[in-house]
Structure 1
Amino acid sequence: MRIALVGCGAVTQAVYAPLLSRRRDLFEVTAVCDLSPALAAAVGDRLGVTARHTSLDDMLAAGGFEAVVMLASGSHGEPVRRALEAGHAVLCEKPLALTRAEVAALPEGRLMVGYMKQYDPAVRRAERLLAELGGPEAVRSVEVTVLHPSAGSQLAFASLTRAADVDPGLLGSLRAAEDELVSRALGADAPEAVRALYGVALGSICHDLSLLRRFTGSPAEISHVETWGPAPGSVEIAGTLPAAGRFSIRWHYLEDYPAYRETVAIHHDAGTLELAFPAPYLVNAPTVLTVVTPGADPGGEGRTEWREVTEAFETQLAAFHAYVTEGEPPLTGAAGALEDIVTAQRIAARYAVQHGLPIGGEAA
């Protein structure tokens, strides 16, 4: 399948380029696009692509591909709309958009939203085990902890090409457009604390929201939100799950923490399913699923560990190929991505209400 890559930054260079290089049985990259000519050239050279663009509209007009992989930063609502209208299938990295209105404006088409942790084999095994236990009704609580060091430390191994050739005026206009979208989501008067929380929710915590959707369904209620520490700081979110039990998410940005760590523990009456994820940029690093059960002897405990090194990003790419060529539905489409946007807005609204801060827009 011939594909075009939009966005040639960190995740493209560290993850997608090496995976696409080894999955030439499924994909041929025929075009790349980035605001930075240097980044487009670097990724084009690496993948042997001669069609290099700095404008999405120019790339869509030139064609030569069946599908678009949207990897640029920020809201993807408008570029995804253009790609779908041009008749292309789209794999879009999270978040799909910053507003509900952007999702509502999307035309019919083949759209898959990339939450790679949903495709992690350890996550799929945990889903099956939870179903055997009785599904969402068996859950007492889901507890998430994320320890998030700086992006620079996570990517120190990658020897990335940096962009230094983009017009500052263009970057300024793009940032202003993003800020306007956030104002539509949260209201023009929403203070920086609420905007920053929304950014963390849609930029990082959305991965955990996507796992909640798979395991239990999206939260029924957001009952508590707090932030503290130097920006982007720490975030604590708690609430009720739709079938049974409660959830808590504790997300900490720790500039100098030695390594990224994320754990998701699903507690039920007879034990625990705990997932420990590696840093997302480390291709083929294992995700560990620990299954805790009652032991054979009274008062004893049984523990089984599953380590799976199959790369979640690669499994996701294969699923996109199957979606486009065979019609196999993706785990998240526009509807699931919209659920996460709504949940992020509910998180921002709960925080604003607790602290007497203004909230408007869609989140109101």
Structure 2
Amino acid sequence: MRIALLGCGAVTQAVYVPLLSRRRDLFEVTAVCDLSPTLAAAVGDRLGAARRYTTLEDMLAAGGFDAVLVLASGSHGEAVRRSLAAGHAVFCEKPLALTRAEVAALPEGRLMVGYMKQYDPAVRRAEELLAELGGPGVIRAVEVTVLHPSGESQLAFANLTQARDVDAGLLASLRAAESTLVSQAVGDSPAVQSLYGVALGSICHDLSLLRRFTGSPHEISYVEAWGPAPGSIEISGPLPVQGRFSIRWHYLEDYPAYRETVAIHHDLGTLELVFPTPYLMNAPTTLTVVSGGESRTEWRDVTEAFEVQLAAFHAFVNDGKPPLTDVGGALEDIVTAQRIAARYAVQHDLPVGGEAA
């Protein structure tokens, strides 16, 4: 499948370039696009893509590919809309957009939204075991803890090419446009906007796991945030079938390593997932199964979740196999993030506006 990449930043360089290099049996990268000519050249050189662009419009007009991978930062709504309208299949890194309106404006087309943890072999095994136990109806509680060091420390090993050649005025205009979208989503309170940014940028991974294990929560009971932004965030509420969930997310800039724990407690035991830093290829997630008599079994698989996700996109486009997250699932996460922002605003007597109101 001939593909084009939009966005040549940190995650593209650390994750997608090495994976696409070793999966040339599935993909040929024919074009790359980034605001920075330096980044486009670096990624194009590594992947053998002769066509390099600094605008999506120019890349779409030139064509020569079957699908677009939207890997840029910020809201992806407009880039996805234009790529679908041009007739291309689209893989979009989370989040799909910052507003529900952007999602509503998307045309029909083949769209898959990337939440790589859903494709983690340990997660899929936990899903199988949960189904054998009886599904969401047996869950008493889901408890999530995320310890999140700085992105720079997580990517220090990757020797990334840096972009220093993007026009400052262009960057300012893009940031202003994104700020407008955030205001349209949740209003103008800086505290509420900050919380919404974390919910859609990081906690959305855990919302995507809740979607797989239990379904998206329909209600948010409690939200608290403390510490210097982005700080620490606590979220809780009822699960759709029964039981409750809690998410505790902590930004700890100098913490030794990223760590994420998702524990599913049921009447007969616990399914516990411990995720390593997401940027280390083939570092396994550990699934610990606690069952009767305090029996503990650990399960690991070094198959890379990002790679399984890419293969799933190939199967989606070529064989029609549905992705784990389509536009509907991505929209559910946006709605849940807005409910989180709204609950926080109400609890702290802060203004909430836009779609979240």
SS of residue paired to 2:221: strand
What's 1:52 paired with? 52
Normalising by structure 1, we get a TM-score of: 0.98
Distance 2:104 2:328 in 1: 10
Structure 1 residue 359 and structure 2 residue 352: aligned? yes
What's 1:342 paired with? 335
CA displacement at 1:277 relative to structure 2: 0.4
What's 1:208 paired with? 206
1:325-340 aligned within 5 A? 325-340=318-333
What's 1:152 paired with? 152
The code of the aligned residue for 1:288 comes to T
1:124-143 aligned within 5 A? 124-143=124-143
The code of the aligned residue for 2:227 comes to G
CA displacement at 1:361 relative to structure 2: 0.8
Distance 2:226 2:164 in 1: 33
SS of residue paired to 2:230: coil
CA displacement at 1:61 relative to structure 2: 0.4
CA displacement at 1:186 relative to structure 2: 1.0
CA displacement at 1:220 relative to structure 2: 2.3
Structure 1 residue 254 and structure 2 residue 242: aligned? no
Structure 1 residue 92 and structure 2 residue 92: aligned? yes
- Runs of 4+ residues deviating >2 angstroms: none
Quick one: percent identity of the two aligned structures?
82
SS of residue paired to 1:250: strand
CA displacement at 1:321 relative to structure 2: 0.1
What's 1:298 paired with? none
RMSD: 0.5
1:9-28 aligned within 5 A? 9-28=9-28
Distance 1:259 1:57 in 2: 39
What's 1:217 paired with? 215
What's 1:303 paired with? 296
The code of the aligned residue for 2:310 comes to L
What's 1:234 paired with? 232
Distance 1:49 1:302 in 2: 52
SS of residue paired to 1:201: helix
Distance 1:166 1:177 in 2: 17
SS of residue paired to 1:222: coil
1:100-119 aligned within 5 A? 100-119=100-119
What's 2:284 paired with? 286
Is there any run of 5+ residues in structure 1 with no aligned partner, and where? 296-300
What's 2:163 paired with? 163
The code of the aligned residue for 2:122 comes to A
Distance 2:3 2:88 in 1: 9
What's 1:192 paired with? 190
- Residue of 306, 314, 321 corresponding to 1:321: 314
Deviations 1:79-136 (A, max 9, x none): 0000000000000000000000000000000000000000001100000100111100
The code of the aligned residue for 1:37 comes to P
Distance 1:256 1:32 in 2: 34
SS of residue paired to 2:261: strand
CA displacement at 1:312 relative to structure 2: 0.3
The code of the aligned residue for 2:265 comes to H
Distance 2:12 2:351 in 1: 37
Deviations 1:305-338 (A, max 9, x none): 0011100000000000000000000000110000
Distance 1:339 1:49 in 2: 35
The code of the aligned residue for 2:290 comes to V
CA displacement at 1:191 relative to structure 2: 1.3
Distance 1:18 1:104 in 2: 34
Normalising by structure 2, we get a TM-score of: 1.00
Distance 1:88 1:48 in 2: 21
Distance 2:261 2:179 in 1: 32
Distance 2:67 2:105 in 1: 20
